[in-house]
Amino acid sequence: MAATELISALLLFLLICSSDISSGEKTRRPQPCKRLVLYFHDILYNGKNAQNATSAIVASPAWGDKTTLAAPNRFGDVVVFDDPITLDNNFRSAPVGRAQGFYLYDKKEVLTAWFGFSFVFNSTRLKGAINFAGADDIMKNTRDLSVVGGTGDFFMTRGLATLTTDAFEDDRYFRLRVDVKLYECF
């Protein structure tokens, strides 16, 4: 008798669970606890612009060099950067911090990169750092990187950063719009 009641209860539970799954209702996504929209500006060193460059090729494949990105698709190039972060898309705006890290071009067939970097803030409004990591499918209009931690105002934060290429000039300059949505804030 107890086994029959247990089986009936289990079947009822499974029926309730399956009806919730098949009801077609979308799962609610959590709302971010903090959101920032920032821009970072990257000027690649080309052998002539040492005064203005904010990034440099530090490793390249055998067929490349350290002043031009390797063809095709820049595969094998590793670039380090220390780029200004601004609140708007104007390069001459006062920076609120620096984007510091690296990206590497990791596919032969398609233009993609892998990023590992931090936004290090130095303003009175924001203190600390936000850490990012992930693949960047450069050819897409928008792409997401993981927010994997932080310090200061962003202690142990997690979230998502949506990148959009806001400007691009050959291999010399690009500007990214970074929409940071934090879902764990302490």
Per-residue pLDDT of the chain (186 residues; tens, 9 = 90+): 565 565 555 545 555 555 445 445 566 778 999 999 999 999 999 989 999 999 999 988 888 888 877 777 788 889 999 999 999 999 999 999 999 999 998 888 888 899 999 999 988 889 999 999 999 998 899 999 999 999 999 999 999 999 999 998 887 899 999 999 999 988
Residue 20: its pLDDT value, please?
47
Residue 96: its pLDDT value, please?
95
Residue 9: its pLDDT value, please?
53
Cα–chain-centroid distance for residue 91? Answer: 20
Residue among 87, 82, 81 nearest 98 (CA): 82
The residue type of 101 is G
CA distance 95 to 98: 7
CA distance 22 to 25: 8
Given 3-state DSSP classes, what are the helix, strand and coil percentages for the chain, each rounded to the nearest 5? 10, 50, 40
Residue 3: its pLDDT value, please?
55
The residues with which 165 forms a beta bridge, in sequence order, are 176
Residue 169: its pLDDT value, please?
87
Quickly tell me which residue has 């606890």 as its tokens: 33
Residue 129: its pLDDT value, please?
97
Cis peptide before 72 (omega within 30 of 0): yes
CB distance 147 to 156 below 8 Å: no
Residue 22: its pLDDT value, please?
47
CA distance 42 to 79: 11
Quickly tell me which residue has 């820049």 as its tokens: 74
Residue 2: its pLDDT value, please?
61
